[in-house]
Amino acid sequence: MINPTERSANIEYAIRDVLIPALKLEEQGRTILKLNIGDPIAFDFETPPHMVEAYCRALRDGHNGYSDSQGYKPLISSIVEHERKKYGTELDPSKVLVTAGISEALVFLFGALLEQGDEILVPGPSYPPYTTLVKFMGGVARTYRTDENNGWQPDIDDLRAKITNRTKAIAIINPNNPTGSAYTRQVLAPIIDLAAEHKLPIISDEIYDGLVYDLPHTSPLALSEEVPMVLLNGFSKVYMVPGWRVGYMAFRDTEGRLDGLYDGCIRQARVRLSTNHPAQVASLAALEGPQEHIEENRRKLMERRDIISRRVNAIDGLSVARPEGAFYAFPRIDIERGPWKNDKAFVLDMLETAGVLCVHGSGFCEDFGKDHFRVVFLAPPAELERACDAIEDFMATRLRD
């Protein structure tokens, strides 16, 4: 038997790992309400028709070979213009790299940035690849606290205390997965100042930037031109095409301090040849075609956000900060009043007993995610209500007074 390497054997991805026991229950004939994966297409959201037609047209027009390793040039030009219109930020098209979603961008970025033992500061809790991939590359993901009592906003003092001489970058995920928090100018400015003080670049993940509910989205790129920044974004969430796997990373740096980092990323991109060519061509239609669907989807999600917030906060033993962006909520569990030893045991018990699949909070951060679980509120209102009914009944049978 050939054993896997330690780095691969230790990989965990909580969002999909919990699906395995759910599939076993479905094989037994159980109906499971899956609120674990942020895939809008699995529910009642659809890819805009003009984008579907653009994909079909790209295939018919012969865009079936490799693209340039950097990406489809017209798409890169459109991305630059799109970001300029949103935030007034000027990007250099020669420093924009189209990737197979943000996940591939993170592989490239951490592969180019980290030597053994180097550190990245990431919000706790956060999207699991930020910790998993850093570890895979030999680095250390140091999580800085976000404050649940303040809408999961970053704790600047904790962030400052965790900067060391091995820190290579500060990551910001805005809006945040899994908490749904969104950061304002007042929140972002001190982080930018801290990055400038310590001469650190900022990694700004903005994949949910079009799904912010009560306040406009603010990008760090719009607040400073002096601090080097790597923008991560893509089409999966706002444009409802997660399966297309088209994202991008843009290096914005007036003094050229990120040139070597970009070079390390593009070299990796050449090894993988190119990302999906027809999907890149079709993604032009996302940026340059009708945009009305974004506001329509945002309104649908606001209604569902409000259902989850209202229902969860009415369940004894649970509480949740109202999400301000994305399509996730991150409820707290009163673990000590139940029979569970931890949040993963809670999630598996809720799956087995109530037939509702969510993700344990410690899968997003062992320190700041424990005693929580993530729920995806993409499902139609009636389905969310059924899920909340099941969770409410489950909690009523499990809690001790």
Residue 380 has pLDDT above 80, yes or no: yes
Q: How confident is the model at residue 401 (pLDDT cuts 50, 70, 90)?
A: low
Mean pLDDT confidence for 52-79 = 97
Query: Which tokens hold the place of 219?
Result: 């990008």
Q: Are 153 and 202 in contact (CB under 8 A)?
A: no
Q: Cis check for the bond before 278: say yes or no (omega within 30 of 0).
A: no
Q: CB-side exposure of 52: number of CA atoms within 13 Å?
A: 5
How many H-runs (helices) and E-runs (strands) does the chain carry?
14, 15
Q: How far apart are CA 112 and CA 236, in angstroms?
A: 24
**Residue 125 preceded by cis peptide, ω within 30:** yes
Query: Quick one: which of 218, 192, 221 has its CA closest to 89?
Result: 221
pLDDT average, residue stretch 92-108: 97
pLDDT of residue 10: 78
CA 232-141-11 angle, 5° bins: 90
Query: CA–CA distance from 50 to each of 235, 283, 284, 286, 361 (Å)?
Result: 14, 10, 11, 8, 37
Chain segment 270-312, per-residue pLDDT in tens? 999 999 999 999 999 999 999 999 999 999 999 999 999 999 9
The full DSSP string for 13-61 is -HHHHTHHHHHHHHHTT---EE-SS--GGGTT----HHHHHHHHHHHHT
pLDDT of the residue at 237: 96
Whether 391 and 379 have beta carbons less than 8 Å apart is answered as no
In this predicted model, what pLDDT tens digit does every residue of 219-236 receive, in sequence order? 999 999 899 999 999 999
Mean model confidence pLDDT for the chain = 95
Give yes or no for residue 127 having a pLDDT over 80.
yes
pLDDT value at residue 314: 97
Q: What pLDDT was estimated at residue 339?
A: 93
Check residue 215 and give its pLDDT: 86
Q: Which pLDDT belongs to residue 11? A: 76
Q: Three-state DSSP class for 328?
A: strand
Map out the domains of the chain with their CATH numbers. Answer: 6-46+292-398 (3.90.1150.10), 49-288 (3.40.640.10)
Tens digit of each residue's pLDDT (9 = 90 or more) over 239-278: 999 999 999 999 999 899 999 999 999 999 999 999 999 9
Residue 13 has pLDDT above 80, yes or no: no
Query: Is the separation of the CB atoms in 102 and 207 below 8 Å?
Result: yes
pLDDT at 234: 97
pLDDT digits (tens, 9 = 90+) for 337-379: 999 999 999 999 999 999 999 999 999 999 999 999 999 999 9
